[in-house]
Structure 1
Amino acid sequence: MRDKLEKLIAAYEELERKLSDPSVVADQKEYTRLAKEHASQADLVARAREYLQALDDIETAKEMLHETTDPEEKEMLQEDIASNEERLPALEEDIKIMLIPGDPNDEKDTIVEIRAGVGGDEAGIFAGDLFKMYERFCESRGWKVQVLSSSPSEAGGFKTIEFKVSGDKVYSVMKYESGVHRVQRVPKTESQGRIQTSTATVAVLPEADEIDIQIDQADLRIDTYCASGPGGQGVNTTYSAVRITHLPTNTVVQSQDQRSQIQNREVCMQMLRARLYEMELQRQQDELGAERQSQIGHGNRSEKIRTYNQPQDRVTDHRIGFNSTYSSVLLSDGLSQIIEALAAADRAEKLARAV
């Protein structure tokens, strides 16, 4: 392991030299890329240096132990050796986990789409509840939430809502939310007190910038139309809403929630880049023979990653069998515990495959 860690530290130090090179500093894109790589390696290199220092301290102490005849000095050296040897297993475990190849998208911001599934009005209300849950969760982490596009449901909540989450390593956390979410509860509209099962789908896409996805303007059909719903005097009088169709893939995105046509167009391009980037990732994984199911399935009740059961005050994440309470997850800040458990299970699985 020493040889591997020394090479890793040398590569990190080479990165530091490049970041101080005037030619690199002048190239903003290259500098940004190298700076992100440097930052992503910082914790691993710190642990590697700590591990190698412990090995060196043990070796030095053993050499001194053979040379000294002083009983007190021998005792001190033996304690030093034992202390460093005790630290090594934990350092090794940390390093092994950090050496697991990360998802290159983990550093990215995300675009999240919530879509009401099976369950009529109650599904729309549940989609709205999920959005509020994510708003609270993101706020607790200091992340920014920007609604890109939404289609409100008549009974409350949303038929669909798309929003961008910006902050530190957003995708590394939010990616665990992709899939079908199922709720079991008595709807507000239910007079007989019967429990209804409804679903909403959540898709989490890493945001793609122009470096990731190049879009030919000739491949786009851009339509403008009058916005509908709340928005003041401009609604239904100016063509501020924008719909963009990517002709080669027939991918359609639209936005009417921003103040101007220019802003709605930029939002549409953000969503389009994210969707095309996801398609490209899917294509690459298919070529490699990876068996990858779609993020959101068909929205059927049987295709679920998590169930929110209000009468039993229980939330179950079916991927790892983790249970929490309905009130803490959907109405408070309990989502963090589920995501931390999912991340821990993911690390353990990757570590088992790597060993």
Structure 2
Amino acid sequence: MKKNSLLQKLEISKKEFLEISKSIIQPNIISDQKKYKILLKKYVTLEKIVFLYEKYKKRLASLKEVDFILENDSDVEMKELATTEKYKILENLSSIEKESYNLLFSSKKESETEDDRRAVIVELRSGTGGDEACIFVEDILRMYTMYFKKSGWKYKIIHAQKGGIKGYKEIILDINGEKGVYGNLKFESGVHRVQRIPKTESQGRVHTSAITVAVLPKVKDIEVNINLSDIKKDTFRSSGSGGQHVNKTESAVRLTHIPSKITVECQEERSQHKNFEKAISVLRSRIYQNEKEKRLRKISIKRKSLVSTGDRSIKIRTYNYPTNRVTDHRIHKSIYNLAGFMNGNIQEMINLLKFFENK
């Protein structure tokens, strides 16, 4: 989180706190118990935020003093003391930032939209980096499935295309849950970049690879009406799971929507009919998402949204293994616990993205 952006939010909260402080003692507010309780609850939360705001400003002032000593003082012992103090201040600032964010997010959280409550289709595809990109698709798949488990969501693999040596060139998932699945996962759409030493690298050099993630809200047939005459259907032998049966029959399905030129494949089921149904579901979601992205692009011209621009070609995140760091470029936030992140602990980053989208 950028310090300037956080300070602006804290300043706004302080102004709001001062306004509520005046309002809450007015007789007409006190007599309206419903309104009074709402304002009192807000007052208590804002009071905590203002306390952190004052504390934050003092620590920033201390940091400025320490930096001045480091830049201008020639005394070695003073510089050593200043360096030690600076680390303490930075650690304290980080703690205040996290606490401030949690309070701000809880006080400013907006209600879910209809789309936010939807189930989703998630598509992972390897990009630049060859075999290493395919391996990273598998790593991200594992990260998401662990996150789904923590969230109490269920998922099914609709389509999978194996990589050359290991991993996947492409994998499509169907995710369902009681809580807002799309509301959390929509921020994952975009290019995910990995920087690490591949297992196949004998010289120990760090390579950069990339994959793309697309998160599509699931829609009903009444929301997106697909004319069957606009669909070209091809069948082929599956290369996926299912034993010998799938290799002997043309159970896999490829659908092409002629007007939009969108193509969908599904081969995970033994039945051609079931694969067709799943492919239609993915196709419907892609058509819906295409229309939604067109609207978002128009909106983003007027409103410089940090996250939901609808452009899946944007690099959104870097996973840097040598520094144990994952960075989201949209909000300039780094988490120095890559192992934990890859084990499905991604909610902190998602919450930050939600916060910035709603600010």
Answer yes or no: same fold by TM over 0.5: yes
Report Cα offsets for 1:268-294 as digits up to 9, x if no partner.
001100011012223444566857754
> 5+ residue gaps in structure 2?
1-23, 47-103, 303-307
Residue from 347, 351, 355 that aligns with 1:340: 351
> Equivalent of 2:271, from 251, 254, 260?
260
Aligned-pair CA distance for 1:340: 1.5
Aligned mate of 1:58, from 17, 20, 30:
30
The answer on whether the counterparts of 2:121 and 2:285 sit within 8 Å (CA) in structure 1 is: yes
What is aligned with 1:89? 43
Structure 1-normalised TM-score? 0.69
Query: Structure 2 vs 1, CA of residues 289 and 140 (structure 1 numbering), >3 Å: closer, same or farther?
Result: closer
1:237 equivalent in structure 2: 248
Runs of 5+ in structure 1 lacking a partner? 1-51, 62-81, 298-302, 350-355
Paired residue type of 1:328: G
Taking a change above 3 Å as real, the CA distance of residues 89 and 143 of structure 1, as seen in their structure-2 partners, is same
Q: 2:125–2:169: 8 Å Cα contact kept in structure 1? A: yes
Deviations 1:253-279 (A, max 9, x none): 011111211110011001100011012
Structure 2 residue identity aligned to 1:296: R
Counterpart of 2:133, as a letter, is A
Deviation at residue 115 of structure 1 after TM alignment? 0.7
For 1:229-266, what per-residue CA distance to the aligned partner results, in whole angstroms no more than 9, with x for missing partners? 44212122111011111111111101111121111001
Residue 90 of structure 1 and its aligned partner are, at CA, apart by 5.4
2:115 paired with 1:105: yes
2:326 aligned with 1:309: no
Q: Pairwise mapping of residues 104-183 of structure 1 onto structure 2 (< 5 A)?
A: 104-167=114-177, 168-183=179-194
- Residue 45 of structure 1 is matched in structure 2 by none
Match of 1:329 among 332, 341, 347: 341
Measure the CA separation in 1 of the matches of 2:185 and 2:344: 15
Aligned counterparts of 1:106 and 1:320: Cα–Cα separation in 2 = 21
5 Å-filtered alignment, 1:18-33, equals: none
How has the CA–CA distance of structure 1 residues 60 and 318 changed in structure 2, closer, same or farther, with 3 Å as cutoff?
A: closer
- Contact 2:105/2:355 (8 A) holds in 1: no
CA distance in 2, matches of 1:250, 1:84: 52
With over 3 angstroms needed to count, the CA separation of the structure-2 counterparts of 1:253 and 1:114, relative to structure 1, is: same
Q: 1:259 to 1:101 in 2, by over 3 A?
A: same
CA displacement at 1:89 relative to structure 2: 3.0
Scaled by the length of structure 2, the TM-score of the pair is 0.68
Q: Which amino acid aligns with 1:233?
A: Q
Determine if contact 1:203/1:295 at 8 Å carries over to the other structure: no
RMSD of aligned Cα (Å): 3.1
The alignment covers a number of residue pairs equal to 271
Once the two structures are superposed, residues 20-65 of structure 1 have per-residue CA deviations (whole angstroms, 9 ceiling, x without a partner) of: xxxxxxxxxxxxxxxxxxxxxxxxxxxxxxxx9x99882179xxxx
Q: Conserved in 1, the CA contact under 8 Å of 2:161 and 2:240?
A: no
Measure, in 2, the Cα distance between the counterparts of 1:235 and 1:248.
31
Contact 2:296 2:309 (8 Å CA) reproduced: no
Q: 2:209 aligns with which of 194, 198, 213?
A: 198
After superposing on structure 2, the runs of 4+ consecutive aligned residues of structure 1 that deviate more than 6 Å are 54-57, 82-85, 91-96
Q: Distance in 2 between matches of 1:193 and 1:160?
A: 27
CA distance in structure 1 between the aligned counterparts of 2:169 and 2:289, rounded to whole angstroms: 22
Query: Identity of aligned pairs, percent?
Result: 37
1:58–1:84 Cα contact (<8 Å) kept: no
Cα distance in 1 for residues equivalent to 2:37 and 2:233: 67
1:2-13 superposed matches below 5 A: none
